[in-house]
Amino acid sequence: MEPLVSKHTSQKVRKAVFPVGGLGTRFLPATKSMPKEMLPIVDMPLIHYAFEEARAAGIEQFIFVTGRNKHAIEDHFDHAYELQTQLTAKNKAKELKQTSDWLPEAGNVSFTRQQEPRGLGHAVWCARHLIGDEPFAVILADDMVFTKKGCMTQMVEAQKKSGGNVLGVMDVPREKTSSYGIVDIDKKAKSKDARLVKAKGLVEKPAPEDAPSTLSIIGRYILQPEIFGILDKQKPGAGGEIQLTDAIAKMIKTDDVFGYRFDGVRYDCGSLVGFVAANVAYALDRKEITGTMTKELQGVFKRAGIKL
């Protein structure tokens, strides 16, 4: 049995890429003029949760791959001088902190454009010059993981031990494999960490009968910079887009790729049901409104004639 340790030594993960160029058509008309990444979960936008998760994992530089009509994201990570001036004048100290205390240091946030919506692989490739020659994280804001220890923190800790590339993974029902990138597990490899598996292949959105497993990739990645050389030549795959999963599958030939079964509950906030469910979960986790929220939800279910 082969140990699950990459031939490449681990290097600190300092940078994270946030692909935020999507159109968010599932949320029209809300996203007609507002980026889907700015949709709020309780009182904080999706992209802010992703940013905080990255920072908690030790990320120092934040790279946003944007598209048209995404100016609200750039504004969110900047000072709002008019608002801050008014809050200062009204002595609203708490609200003032909420606008600026969390902002990263100047120069630690970068924005680059994906001029055409050509897929996740292409979006990551657009950040190549800002990443350089070091490992980096990729976080999809509409994949939220509800957990005490951030999903990326868990993955960074795992990658320190394994090296190589680490993908956030979870088991899904077999009938849903056609919606995910699926890991073909190398069962000959062993690990002291039961959450870590080695991949011998990856398949993008396979039919249930063709899926090599039910272990699916979610929107969390730690990748080595060699991925850019593969993406340079990557041809369109599923959906006519340049798929990141396809590029990672090719990298398995020269580098180690691991799947990490993270601790937490994943909410697909790119779907209406997942978005609403995440709002409920995060609201119930807020001590100051848990009681009121519980009563409100009980009333909603009662009026709808739903018994739990």
pLDDT digits (tens, 9 = 90+) for 37-46: 999 999 999 9
Identify whether residues 249 and 278 lie together within a single domain: no
Residue 184: in which H helix or E strand, if any? strand 181-185
CA–CA gap between residue 231 and residue 236 (Å, rounded): 10
Identify whether residues 96 and 244 lie together within a single domain: yes
Confidence of residue 10 (pLDDT cuts 50, 70, 90): low
**What is the model's pLDDT at position 53?**
98
**What is the model's pLDDT at position 238?**
67
Identify whether residues 282 and 156 lie together within a single domain: no
**What is the model's pLDDT at position 119?**
87
**What is the model's pLDDT at position 4?**
53
* pLDDT exceeds 60 at position 6: no
Identify whether residues 81 and 150 lie together within a single domain: yes
* pLDDT exceeds 90 at position 193: no
CA–CA gap between residue 271 and residue 174 (Å, rounded): 19
Identify whether residues 294 and 249 lie together within a single domain: no
Confidence of residue 217 (pLDDT cuts 50, 70, 90): very high
Q: Which amino acid is at 85?
A: T
213 located within any domain:
no
* pLDDT exceeds 60 at position 7: no
Instruction: Give the chain's domain count.
Output: 2
Identify whether residues 227 and 303 lie together within a single domain: no
Closest CA to 111 of 73, 55, 60: 73
* pLDDT exceeds 90 at position 50: yes
Instruction: Dump pLDDT digits (tens) for 86-106.
Output: 999 999 999 999 998 899 888
Identify whether residues 235 and 278 lie together within a single domain: no
List the CATH number of the domain containing 30: 3.90.550.10
> Structural domain of residue 36, as residue ranges?
10-162+218-253
* pLDDT exceeds 60 at position 222: yes
* pLDDT exceeds 50 at position 76: yes
194 located within any domain:
no
Count CA atoms closer than 13 A to 225's CA, side-chain side: 15
290 located within any domain:
yes
179 located within any domain:
no
Identify whether residues 153 and 291 lie together within a single domain: no
Closest CA to 158 of 13, 1, 50, 267: 13
What is the Cα 21 distance to its own chain's centre? 13
**What is the model's pLDDT at position 150?**
96
**What is the model's pLDDT at position 135?**
96
Biggest CA-to-CA distance, the chain: 67
**Final residue before a domain boundary, out of 226, 253, 280:** 253
Identify whether residues 224 and 145 lie together within a single domain: yes
Identify whether residues 291 and 243 lie together within a single domain: no
Instruction: Dump pLDDT digits (tens) for 252-307.
Output: 988 999 999 999 999 999 999 999 999 999 999 999 999 999 999 999 999 999 88
Kindly report the average pLDDT of the chain as a whole number.
Answer: 91
**What is the model's pLDDT at position 1?**
39
Q: Which amino acid is at 182?
A: I
235 located within any domain:
yes
Q: Please work out, in degrees rounded to the nearest 5, the angle formed at the alpha carbon of residue 210 by the alpha carbons of 26 and 5.
A: 90
Identify whether residues 229 and 308 lie together within a single domain: no
262 located within any domain:
no
189 located within any domain:
no
187 located within any domain:
no
φ, ψ for residue 218 (rounded to 5)? -105, -175
Identify whether residues 249 and 276 lie together within a single domain: no
